[in-house]
Amino acid sequence: MGRRIGQTLKARWLAWRSATDTTGDGRDGDDGRDGRDRGDVPGWVMITVMTAALVVAIATLATPALQNLFTSAINSVSGVGGGGGG
């Protein structure tokens, strides 16, 4: 059964690899001659910075509400940290 899974994974990887091949000759296209095939680094940096800014903004807005929610939930639970009597 393990061999069958391995063959399936290999077939899927090869299918993905051929679907993403941009050279058309089965190679990965990184032969050192074409410097344009390096990706859009400034674009990815911008996306990363914007995502971090969104996370900070959402956390800044949501922190007081989440603290109040947590505090009210803990206060509404009876017997938290009690002696276990009853």
d(CA 9, CA 15): 10
| 33 found inside a domain | no
Residue 7 belongs to some domain of the structure? yes
The answer to whether residue 11 sits within a structural domain is yes
Q: Is the pLDDT of residue 75 over 50?
A: yes
What number is the average pLDDT over the span 46-52? 94
- pLDDT value of position 23: 65
**34 lies in some domain:** no
pLDDT at residue number 14: 82
- pLDDT tens digits, residue range 17-48? 887 776 655 555 555 555 555 667 788 889 99
Q: Mark residue 39 as left, alpha or beta (left: phi above 0; alpha: psi -120 to 50; beta: remaining).
A: left
Q: What is the mean pLDDT of residues 45-66?
A: 94
Tell me whether residue 67 is in a domain. Answer: yes
pLDDT, averaged across the chain = 77
| Residue 62 in domain | yes
Residue 61 lies in a domain: yes
Dist CA 43 CA 49 (whole Å): 10
Q: Judge whether 84 lies within some domain.
A: no
Full domain range(s) for residue 6: 2-25+40-76
pLDDT band at 86 (very low <50, low <70, confident <90, very high): very low
Q: Is the dihedral of CA 77, 78, 82, 83 positive or negative?
A: negative
pTM: 0.40
Number of structural domains found in the chain: 1
